[in-house]
Amino acid sequence: MHAVDRHHPIVESATLAWPDEAATQAFAQHWATQPALANAFVALHGDLGAGKTTLVRHLLQALGVTGRIKSPTYAVVEPYELDALNIWHFDFYRFNDPREWEEAGFRDIFASAGLKLAEWPEKAAGVLPVADVDLHIRTLDDSSRSVTLLAHTAAGQALLQGLQGATP
């Protein structure tokens, strides 16, 4: 596991198998129904091509986002506004100036109500708050993924408990 996890107690963990992208989508559709998601910070770990952005796309679509969902690699963050939910999709791959945390308003975003999803949280480890859930995606082959979820908060624990019985 990544160093970022070791610093924060794990209150609940789960492992899942996503044998194909349809399984990833089914997970996203189920998570989208969970009330605890509305205010959660989910940190997405995994190598390039693991499926972080793909999961976010399925999750945003399941939550009702229509239209194109861009990968925020260059912008660092893409915001989405739904009627009852604000969502921010971060990709910290190119984040290298901690001053940007204040200047770009990221601190304010993390203090706001809404769903925060972050790819490459390792690149902003010094400034990011503790994630409700650290979700690690590991590539097994072209379509199959092994997933570990670590909850660090009560909200994260609720999100993991909501999975029971929903996915194999």
Binding site for ligand ADP (CB under 6 A): 18, 20-21, 23-24, 46, 48-54, 119, 143, 145
d(C-alpha 112, C-alpha 99), whole Å: 19
21 vs 100, which CB is nearer to ligand ADP? 21
Q: Any alpha helices (H) in the chain, and if so which ranges?
A: 3-6, 21-31, 52-63, 99-103, 106-110, 154-161
What separation in angstroms does the CA of 77 have from each of 80, 87, 93, 141, 163?
10, 10, 11, 29, 27
Binds 145: which of ligand ADP, Mg ion, none (CB < 5-8 Å by kind): ligand ADP
From ligand ADP, Mg ion, none, which one binds at residue 152 (CB under 5 to 8 Å depending on kind)? Answer: none
Helix, strand and coil percent figures for the chain, each rounded to 5: 35, 25, 40
Nearer to ligand ADP, 53 or 157 (CB): 53
**Residue 20 interacting entry, from Mg ion, ligand ADP, none, C-beta within 5 to 8 Å by type:** ligand ADP
Give bridge partners of residue 13 from the DSSP assignment: 150
- Residue 78 near residue 89, CB atoms below 8 Å: yes
Q: Closest distance between ligand ADP and the C-beta of residue 9, in Å?
A: 26
Q: In this complex, which beta carbon is closest to ligand ADP, that of residue 16 or of residue 159?
A: 16
Query: With respect to ligand ADP, which residue has the nearer C-beta, 136 or 145?
Result: 145
Instruction: Please state the closest distance from residue 163 (CB atom) to ligand ADP, in A.
Output: 16
* Shortest distance in whole angstroms from residue 99 CB to ligand ADP: 26
Residues interacting with Mg ion, by CB under 5 A?
A: 52-53, 119
How far apart CA 144 and CA 39 sit, in angstroms, is 29
**CA end-to-end span of the chain, whole Å?**
23
Least distance CB 26 / ligand ADP (angstroms): 10
